[in-house]
Amino acid sequence: MVRTRFAPSPTGYLHVGGLRTALYCYLFARANGGKFLLRIEDTDQERYVEGAVENLIRTLDWVGLKNDEGPYLDEKGEVQQKGDFGPYIQSQRFDLYKKYADELVEKGQAYYCFCTRERLDELRKKQESLKQATMYDRHCCTIPLAEARKRAEAGEPHVIRQKIPNETLKFKDLIRGNVQFDGKTIDDQVLIKSDGFPTYHLANVVDDHLMEITHVIRGEEWLPSTPKHIFLYNAFDWKAPEFAHIPLLLNNDRTKLSKRQGDVAVEDYIQKGYIKEAIINFAAFLGWHPGAGEETEIFSLTELEQKFSLDRVHKAGAIFNIEKLDWYNWQWQKRLFNEKMQNIAKEIDAKVEINQPKPNVFTYTFASPENKVKFNEEKAKNLREICEKYIAEELLKKDSELMNKALILNEEKIVKEPKTITENIRYFFELPTYDKILLTNAKMNVDEELAKSSIQKATEVLDQITEKDWTEENLKEKLLTLIQSLNLKNGQVLWPLRAALTGQEFSPGVFEMLWALGKEESLSRLKKTAI
């Protein structure tokens, strides 16, 4: 069975690069009917951040990456563990690492090293002066085991180092293909530090073996560590897992993404209003593509589970483009909103007809006008939930019915960019001061005289329409009939009308604005403009 793991260090919040690694591990396990593990690698206690484990679990749970084994939060928010290979927190496994390090010492695959910091510093400086690779010179490798053990038991400060074979190591990376390293260039790595704590490399290998990890999926920056890990597997006579090193995240200028340049925590994006579906979709495409012939880029987590494969992961670095994340967020806001409104429409009217020719687009026909009103009320309610925190406080006190209409007419803008809602609806409640030149349009041959005449004649027609008949359909019919009778083009009348109603160059159409503002406010604005 395929078993993957995500093994972060609890040194802060989960960043986008870490999320992508976790996602690829999760997707590969799900695509192959396997298990996805979470393991906390906290051997470096100096970098441990209080609360980081809880935050990591909450963030992964929020995006939908729930682990099959490992730490989780119970109903009280306390860390618990599940699975048959625990504990899944390395600080609770220290005895194991010492045991396996001692085993390598007994086998002659590792040795005690008593070199002081001063000697190691001097060695490094000498090698640098000679322009040599800075590596340990195996000064302690020849100390007889009995003597070394006696010195260690007497309390002499020491570490345990692995004896790296002087041989060429070849392995196949599932993304990068055949990889080769020369053992001569690899230092005798420390396995147990002088404080008795294991190094990352030892703990990582021991845990992956004991937890029966079959595939290690991690960032490209870990590729140089892979020969160290494989040499450890060989020293233990263990079968190594398969490795897959995913590409680096890059800025637009192809420099490595840094925290300062944008590699912020996933939690920061959550606080900025990005939704989990968009974040996951975006992260998946940072180095992966479903393949030739696939037109859509919008995939749910479930759909990604069915599509994902490591052979579609790119070797080259992946560009982190915040504009692309914005696009995913808009697409997912729209998709989820439309799905929600479809369900509401069905609940309101059993006779509703829904046509969905392509994803996320639907039209509806209600059996009665009353039910359409109910639907619009629900739509406005849901739109308000999306953007309410961005609406200016003074506007929230305005007429609620007009607010609902303003939200409905700005549906796409709200779903795409809710932060801009105030500037997009303010003119519904207060007509701004605008230059009368806005009423004219050279392309449509609308000069000041024609604009004034069109507004006057339209006002006369609209004044005859009762409040009861003040509907989009009726308003459209009356105005188009007027335009035809004047032998004018639609734009020659509708353009100055819309500008007079809104004071905006861009706004909803004339019929929608007339419906939203109502008869009294619409005529008031038009009559003022026509003077």
What are the catalytic residues? 259
Query: Who contacts 519 (Cβ-Cβ below 8 Å, separation ≥6)?
Result: 462, 465, 467, 470
Half-sphere exposure of 364 (CA within 13 A, CB side): 24
**Which of 359, 355, 307 has its CA nearest to residue 336?**
359
Q: Are 307 and 348 in contact (CB under 8 A)?
A: no
Peptide bond connecting 87 to the previous residue in cis, omega within 30 degrees of 0: yes
Tokens 């196949």: give the residue.
Answer: 172
Report the 10 Å Cβ neighbour count for 84.
7
Query: Whole-angstrom Cα distance, residue 321 to residue 16?
Result: 12
The backbone torsions φ and ψ at residue 182, rounded to the nearest 5 degrees and listed phi first, read -95, 120
**Which of 319, 368, 313, 314 has its CA nearest to residue 345?**
368
Per the document, the length of the chain is 531
CA distances from 94 to 87, 89, 193 (A): 11, 10, 12
**Cα 210–211–214 angle (5° rounding)?**
105
Query: Whole-angstrom Cα distance, residue 271 to residue 20?
Result: 19
Tokens of 234: 């060989």
Tokens of 169: 């190591």
Query: Whole-angstrom Cα distance, residue 70 to residue 96?
Result: 18
Q: What is the DSSP string of 74-119?
A: -TTS-EEEESSS---BGGG-HHHHHHHHHHHHHTTSEEEE---HHH
Task: Indicate the residue type of 178.
Answer: N
Tokens of 463: 């004044």
**Which of 202, 283, 213, 255 has its CA nearest to residue 18?**
283
Burial letters 18-50, b for 16+ CB under 10 A, else e: bbbbbbbbbbbbbbbebbbbbbbbbbeeeeeee
Q: Are 344 and 350 in contact (CB under 8 A)?
A: no
CA distances from 318 to 30, 282, 295, 366 (A): 23, 11, 20, 47
Radius of gyration over every alpha carbon of the chain, rounded to an integer in angstroms: 33
Q: Are 499 and 487 in contact (CB under 8 A)?
A: no
